[in-house]
Chains A and B, each alone.
Chain A
Amino acid sequence: MLDMVLQGVLGVLQPINILTLILTVSLGIVIGALPGFGAATGLILVLPLTYSLDPGTAFVALCGVYVGAEYGGSISSILLNTPGTGGAVVTCFDGFPLAQRGKAREALFISNIASFSGGIVSGLVMLFCMPILGGAVLHFGAGEILVLAVIGLLLVGSISAGDPLKGVGSAALGVFMTCIGADAFMGNPRFDFDIPILIGGIPFIPVMLGVFSVPHLLRLALGRQDGTQAVSMRNMSMRENARIFLDVFRDMFARMKILLLRSGLFGVLIGIVPGVGGSVATMVAYSSARRASKQPEMFGKGAREGIAAPEASNNGLVGGSLIPVLALGIPGSPAAAIFMGAIFLHGMTPGPNFLVSQGNLVYLLIMAVFMAAVVQLLLGFLTIGSFANILKVPPYLLFPSLLVICCIGAYVVRGLEFDMWLFSGFGLAAFFLVRLGFNPGAFILGMILGGITEGSLLETLTLARAQGGLLAYFMGRTIALIIIGMVVIYFAWRLFSAWRTHEPRSAAEASARAETREVGPWSGLRGYDAAYSVLLLGICAWLYSMLDELAPSTALFPRIVLTVLMLSMGALLAKTVFFGRLYANKTESPFSGTRWTALSGVLIVWGLYLWGVGVLGFYVSSFLMVLVLTVMLRAAAGEAGSPRSLLACLVFSVIYGIAAYIVFKIFFGIVTPTGLIG
């Protein structure tokens, strides 16, 4: 055990790993700072680049991106009042007001130091957990995994923001996606509609990339210049910088030790629970900081604690979410799911035997969590503000460049062009559906937990049948019973406290309720709700009718999922019809303000691009798309199309195309579609 820790320390201190961390933490910070590009997206984009690395360095690289992105998310929260990642939403509350008061630098330092401490706390918890877990995990069988996965799904449905029915519906829809293709237990195909490629199922990485990033990308491309500008910082000498940093550090050390520790622990603990993400952890940490504060009225107006608490907890989440992946093979968040994919990619299986057989790698990873925190602290200090420059890159350059990277990220996991279409299709659907209350986070978590739930459910049933029934099976399983007991107590407590207080559960919900009261009985959204619940009910009924042809074990899980989906949509329909007014919270149509002309222009080029990938090859097609889109989006943004600027666009696309070729093809040896002509 101790020698493994020591080996981990020595491993992470190797020059190659330090260098990897510096590169990947920087990359993570940049990706995290981009609105809509969270840790999970960053990990997907880096994943293909780790193919050619040895497993240890690959994990170190992914760890660096993860840690960097969780911190980077706060940069755009603080400077732009736009969260870069889901975990940085809360950071806006106090980060932006503080920056507006001319203290952007302090705010960034607070976030940096808090993220660092969160990283250290999560590393420590991992370090102490692993030896204990190592012995216990072998007793985790299908029954225990099933219980955990179901808890994850229950929490996804109940915690997600907005209308809980839509949350449950989104999660169920996500779970149903995992029912397409070979089933998770026997491998029998289903719902493939005689399209051969669907036997492989709907892979979650392209879908996640689309659902999370495309809405933001499109908003970026079509964004009106509505005056949101990043708070700028004046240049400062290193000395002055260091002075401010030390001031902040001393202040935090004096006043926030407990707060940082507590917030970090919240992050770790919430990270361990499957299905509950960074937004919950940061909210819990923030409200507990406010409760503990002597000046709670300062929160929301630029309180330093209001930045420190969420930032410590979202970095604490990193280690927390990796624990169930390493120990049990259950990813609790999208980022953790990608980490798990990376472990598979390197020929290992996360889960019980991983801790035993790959102990060295596990400890290397834990040490990387520590080291990434240190690197992030130093980088955050040394490069203060310069990472923020990514926010100043004009959208007409950013959009096409990111589109290329997303497409390769979607493609590379399975090596199928089809996945680029999946990415685009799901992304576009999400762009519209989000406005109708579709919850992308719940949807993706449903996709992540769906396969695990089905696999463990059928395994549990098979074993239970062999052992004489479900009751007999679970009676012998203390761990499962303890977990079930804890969950029952948790839900009972929540019901009890909801009943006692009669208060809306969260601030977001309260404000949503407040808005609804002002709205008249006829609103656009009501019509949409009714329309899509009816549509979904129809589709479900059609899919349901296909179940009878399947083998019993193959049909069981889709039957459950479709039932849940139909129940939630039926309830939504009933609610819309009978209480429509209460739940309408927008006076205008959810689609007002969409620039349809620009959107259709972008989509046509996008479609041609994907088609071109198959014909002209990836790089040529990317070059042409970047060129056309930069010119087009510049024109749409109202900037003059002088010959010089056209030339600039051309130069940019040529350089970008060549750089992409060098990085992906030559440096990392990624096989991309070559098209019909070679």
Chain B
Amino acid sequence: MSSLTRLMASALLMLGLALPSAPAARAGTYPDRPVTVVLPFGAGSGADRIIRVMLPRMEELLGQKIILDYKTGGGAVVGSNYFMTTKPDGYTLLFYNQPHITMQSTFQKTAYNNDNLVPIFGATWRPDSLNVLADGPFKTLDDLVTYARENPGKLTVGTTGSLSSNHLSFALFSKLTGLQMTRVPFNSAGKMNAALLGGQIDATFNNLQWLTMYPGKLRVLATASTERLQPDIPTFTEQGYPEMVDISAVNILYARKGTPEEIVERLRAVFTPLLTDENIKAEFIKLDIGYGMFDHNQVQELTDLAVKQTEQAGGYIKASMQ
């Protein structure tokens, strides 16, 4: 009998130990415990690599440990929906990207959208590019457009996933040119490049990152950037498509709407030095991630642009998901 009482006592003790001294979230003391960042793409994903580069510096600036919580599935919908069920107290944040959020919340049922996510800052900048085989038939963007015009539906173009920046580029380009091209979605950029190199598809919307991975094998016909990213690679703008600009996946740290204003301001202020950190810049360039840092205002501008482009290409996005 005595052991039973002891048993219960120790069970209660364990419970007691687990009870935290949970204080209400107050901006004055924020953050007084570790902050969790939800990653809706899995461990090892591009977003994971990106945040890991910044993580030590982020923890240093915040003065707290940051726990990465991978909640994956359904093209990041599951993890991001999960995030919308957490408390808006600044202790759980989301690391997710535009234009994905805009596209998903427009075309699918999601708990999140541009109105209930509050941007803290954004990282990475790698504008989409239209790529073909270096020794293939297309030497210029005009070659490709001419072929596609003469052979409706025959040109096959790969994009990574659906409702991604690549998908937006594809749809917008289809809309601007009026071309009928066949979209082939791939669940990873690696697979898509293998398909391009193996001649399974004619072209891809992707980014310059892959040029270094397959030196000499790929030709970039145009990039969706305002200026040339490399001296010998033209932009869409200079070839007559000025709307094809600034289409890039940008990873953004978000808080939930409803998070106390002081905490949001504090997070934005605390991470400001990150935006100009030379070490992080060097690391991004070394890992060929595509360097770019944006404060919350710039993130807002990019989001507005993504919304505008998504609206513009809307019909084409929908049609290419049938």
Contacts and interface: CB of A to CB of B under 8 A. Distances in A.
Check if A and B associate.
Answer: yes
Interface stretch (B70-78, B124-132, B243-251): B70-78
A345 B3 contact: no
Interface residues of A, number: 64
A647 B6 contact: yes
A211 interface: no
B198 A139 contact: yes
B24 interface: no
A675 B14 CA distance: 14
A463 B322 contact: no
Which residue among B6, B68, B75, B194 has the maximum number of chain A CB atoms within 10 Å of its CB? Answer: B194
B322 A551 contact: yes
Given A140-B198, A200-B73, A348 B2 contact: no
B198 A188 contact: no
A650 B6 contact: yes
B4 A646 contact: yes
Interface stretch (B42-50, B113-121, B171-179, B264-272): B42-50
A344 to B, nearest CB: 6
A175 to B, nearest CB: 18
A199 B22 contact: no
B4 A678 contact: no
Highest count of chain A CB atoms <10 Å: which of B18, B19, B49, B68: B18
Interface in B33-84: 36, 42-46, 48-49, 67-75, 77-79, 81-82
B74 A465 contact: no
Contacts of A643: 1-4
B307 interface: no
Contacts of B155: 466
Contacts of B46: 347
Interface string B1-33: 111101100110011001110100000000000
Nearest to B70: A415
A45 B76 CA distance: 24
A186 B182 contact: no
A28 interface: no
A142 interface: yes
Contacts of B70: 414-415, 671
B198 A141 contact: yes
B195 interface: yes
Nearest to A349: B190
A678 B22 contact: yes
A553 B162 CA distance: 13
A329 B191 contact: yes
A650 B44 contact: no
B211 interface: no
Contact of A552 (B49, B197, B322): B322
A623 interface: yes
A663 interface: no
B86 to A, nearest CB: 12
B77 A200 contact: yes
Interface stretch (A223-231, A352-360, A514-522, A585-593): A352-360
Nearest to A342: B44
A605 interface: no
Contacts of A182: 74-75, 77
Nearest to B67: A671
B73 A348 contact: no
Nearest to B68: A671
A662 interface: no
B153 A465 contact: yes
Interface string A447-488: 000000001000100110111000000000000000000000
Interface string A138-151: 11111000000000
A365 B42 CA distance: 23
A198 to B, nearest CB: 8
B311 to A, nearest CB: 20
Given A187-B163, A650-B3, 11 more contacts: A196-B111, A200-B73, A344-B44, A347-B45, A347-B46, A353-B193, A416-B71, A467-B154, A620-B18, A646-B7, A671-B70
Interface of B: 1-4, 6-7, 10-11, 14-15, 18-20, 22, 36, 42-46, 48-49, 67-75, 77-79, 81-82, 108-109, 111, 153-156, 161-163, 182, 184-185, 187-191, 193-195, 197-198, 200-201, 213, 321-322
Interface of A: 51, 138-142, 181-182, 184-189, 196-197, 199-201, 203, 329, 344-349, 351-354, 357, 413-416, 455, 459, 462-463, 465-467, 551-553, 616-617, 619-620, 623-624, 627, 643-644, 646-647, 650, 654, 657, 671, 675, 677-678
